[in-house]
Structure formats: structure tokens, C-alpha cells
Chains A and B, each alone.
Chain A
């Protein structure tokens, strides 16, 4: 075996729940700490440094939680679907465990996105809810997450549950680009993108940076929570393995 093969082979050991349990245990505190630091910076910039908005006054500051929760609701679903695809392709237990670990966090962020959006919509649009394309597709995303979790609970055999949920996750992932492009494809009340890859952002620098830092903070939080949760899921599912008995001591 060449040196390269040995190195790649070393990485594959983390596909085993036993080894990933240890790795996740070492990693999640770092992500949690990073999240806390970024949260502090983001809140400082967003609440103290960023100026008042000309049209929306102080209400716009909801952006510093609304955008991160929305971004995470979409990102987590895509990552969940990616783990689902890996699980279906390689029949690995850990893939299903990771997808299961991500779902509750994704559902929470989706709900928060809808709620913070409502709290922003009421003063700005005069309505708690409108059936526009973005809001409706985000609501559907919530149903997909909840459906994933319900389907998981309803099937006793974890491996079969993983497979069924994987199919659901993959079928539902088409909703994510719909949410993202809804403000382009349809005539929506929800505003269009302020940030794009091709032109300068239309918002003031502190607003933009506060938003970016908060998105990163929520991302690190999601990673930390998912890694912590998957450790419990691994123990639950592998409880009869010898290594679990040793891990309890």
C-alpha cells in the first residue's frame, strides 16, 4: 500500500460510529466556544454599532436573527439530505445517525425563521403572515423536517427508518432551491436578495458584517449541537456493543 492509500484509509475509520463518537466528543466544545465568541461579536455589531435603517427604523435589527435562522434552516436540510444520500449509497449507519442528529436543529431554526419573520412582518407589512412564495415554501420546509422526525419515530427498526427518512430528505431537498429562488421566480412580498455574488451589497457595511458574523455564529452552534446530539444517538443505537460499555465508565 502506498502512503497515500494508508492516509485515506485512516480517514475512513471515522465512518465507524465508535470512532466518530470520540471525534465528535473532542470537536463539539470547540464549535460551541467559536459560536459563543461569534455571537458576542455579531450582537455587538448588530445591536450597538450598526446604524438605524432609513425606512424601517430599529425594527430592521430583527435581520440579525431572522437571516441566520433562515440560512441555517436551508443549510441544515441540504446537509441532512447529503448524509441521507451517503447512507443510501454506502449503507453506513453513521450517515443515518447524522441525519437524525441534524433534523431537530433544522426544524427549530425553520420555526424561528417563520416566527422572527412574522414579528418583522407585522410592523413592516401590517401582517403576521402572507401566503407568498418564500414564506409558504419555508413553511413546507418545516413540515418536511417534522415529517422526517415523525417518520423516524414511527419505524421501529432504525436501519429501515434511516432508509425511509433518507428518501424523504432527498425528495424534499428540491424545496430548498425553491425557497432560495422564490423571490426571483415569483412576485413576492418578501424582499429580494440584498447580497449577491455579482454586485455590491445594497446595505451598509456594519449591517452586512453583523449579519455575516451572526450567520457564522449560528452555523457553528448548529455543528456543535449536531455533534453533541449524534453522540447520544450513537450510544442509543450501539448500546449492545462492547465499546459502549467501556465508554460508560
Chain B
């Protein structure tokens, strides 16, 4: 198997044009990339939302890094 620097494109515009099939080829690659990045972002977002929810206790106090920051409903928590 030989993989050398034997590129088949003589210019970037040729690469971009994909022999006239640019819409189909770049559409496919683009949508795939978009979907995978979006999924990774959604996974991260879901985790962050859960962490925020779990760190907010019943009094509305958000515990962050061991300290308690008080929201409006919080009356019993220790102030930092």
C-alpha cells in the first residue's frame, strides 16, 4: 500500500468543485460533520443542565465548589 503525496488536485478550486458534484459531496461531508458536532454539544449541554439541577437544592440554593450561593428563596443556608 503506497500513500504518498500523490494528490489528484491541481488547484484548490478544483478540490472545492469536486468535478461538478460539490453540492452533493460537500453537502454530505458538511451535514455529517454538523450532526456529529451538534451531538457532542448536546451531550455536553445535557450534562451541564443536570449538574446545575443537581447542585440546586430544595431551598433554591446553588452549591458551587463547596460554597453556597443564595437565591431568592434561600433563607436557611449559610452565607459564604
Contact = CB atoms under 8 A, between A and B. Distances in A.
B19 A59 contact: yes
A104 B39 CA distance: 9
28 contacts: A48-B7, A49-B8, A51-B8, A58-B18, A58-B21, A58-B25, A59-B25, A61-B25, A108-B36, A115-B28, A116-B31, A119-B25, A119-B27, A122-B24, A123-B21, A209-B1, A209-B3, A225-B39, A225-B43, A228-B40, A228-B47, A232-B43, A235-B54, A236-B50, A244-B54, A248-B54, A248-B55, A248-B63
Interface string A232-249: 100110010000100011
Contact of B66 (A64, A229, A249): A249
B24 A123 contact: yes
Given A57-B19, A248-B51, 13 more contacts: A48-B8, A49-B4, A50-B8, A57-B21, A58-B20, A59-B21, A59-B25, A62-B28, A119-B23, A120-B28, A122-B24, A232-B43, A248-B54
Interface residues of A, number: 42
B19 A49 contact: no
B32 A116 contact: yes
Interface string A26-63: 00000000000000000001011111100001110110
Interface in B41-72: 43-44, 46-47, 50-51, 54-55, 63, 65-66
A248 B55 CA distance: 7
A56 to B, nearest CB: 9
A218 to B, nearest CB: 8
B46 A69 contact: no
A221 B1 contact: no
A84 to B, nearest CB: 21
B76 to A, nearest CB: 18
A65 interface: yes
Interface residues of B, number: 35
* B interface majority secondary structure: helix
A239 B29 CA distance: 39
Interface in B1-15: 1, 3-4, 6-9, 15
**Which of A52, A65, A239, A244 has most chain B Cβ within 10 Å?**
A65
A205 interface: yes
Contacts of A122: 24
B35 interface: yes
